[in-house]
Amino acid sequence: MSKSVVISGASRGIGLALVEHFLKQQFTVYGIVRQINEPLKQLKITYSNQLTICEVDLADSKMVEDRILEFEKLINLNSEIILINNAGISAGGPFEILSYQHWVELYQVNLLAIVQLTKIFLPKIRKTKGRIINIGSVSGRIASPYLTSYASSKFALRGLTDGLRRELRRFAIRVILIEPGPVDTGIWETSQKRSHNMLNLADKNLSDIYSTQIKKLNDEINNIHKSTVDVSHVVNAVQESVVSQKPKIYYMVGKNKFLIKLVSLMPGWIVDILLS
C-alpha cells in the first residue's frame, strides 16, 4: 500500500525538510501550516499533484477544529495514513517572569493541538493501519532551568505518546516519538525573539532580580549552534520510523545522546547541581 503523510509545522525547519523529503520519495503529502511561505509555494508548483496545504493557526483551538475537520475529508483511504505531529514553539525565561498566557499558548501548540489533530485523523489511521509520529525533544527527558515551560510540554508529549502507543497496540498502529537535541534550523532565532518580547514586558523588579540568569540564557542560545546537528539527521530518523517494519519506540537524535543517557542514571540531586 502507498503512503500519505500529514505533517504539521510544514513551512520551515524540520517540517519543511520532511515535506521536501517525502515529496521526493513520491509520497502524497498534506502540509499543515500557519501561513504558506515562498518555499512551500515553490514546492506546490513543482509537486502540484502530490502536495496539499492547509493554513491553520494551531494556537487557535477553534480554528484547528473547524479547518482540520474539513481538511481531513480530502484524504482518501487508498493509502496508509501517517500523521507526523511536528509543529511546536519554544521560548525560555525564568518561571516567575513568564506570563500565564505564555503557558496557555505554548501548551495549545505543543500538546493540545496534537491531541486535536490526532483525534481527527485517528479513524483513518486506524482503518489504514497507519502510524503516528510525534516530534518531541530531549527536553522531554531533562528539564533545564529557564526552559521549564517548553520542557514540561515535551514531558507531557512523551506521556501522551507512551499512553497512546499502548492503547492503539491492539489496532496494530505504531506510535513513535522522535527526540531531537539541538538541530540547525531557524527555531533558535525565533525562540530568542519570542523570549526577548516576553522579558521586555516583564516587571522591572523581576527583570533586575533575574538579570544574570537572563544573560546566561541568551549566551547559551547564541552558542547553541556549536551543539546542533543538520536537519537531515532528524529526517533520516523519521524516514526509518515511517517505512521500517519494526520501528523503534523512541529515536533520539543529536550529539548529546550519551549525555542524556548518562544523566538518566545519576541521582536527582547531582543532576540538579549540574544543571543549576
Q: What pTM value is reported for the model?
A: 0.91
Range of the domain at 77: 3-275
Mean pLDDT by 10 residues, the chain (276 residues): 92 96 96 95 95 96 95 91 95 87 95 98 96 96 91 97 98 97 74 63 74 76 76 96 96 82 82 80
| pLDDT recorded at residue 221 | 72
Amino acid at 40: L
CATH of the domain at 170: 3.40.50.720
Please tell me the total count of domains within the chain: 1
Instruction: Give 146-159 pLDDT, tens digit per residue.
Output: 899 999 999 999 99
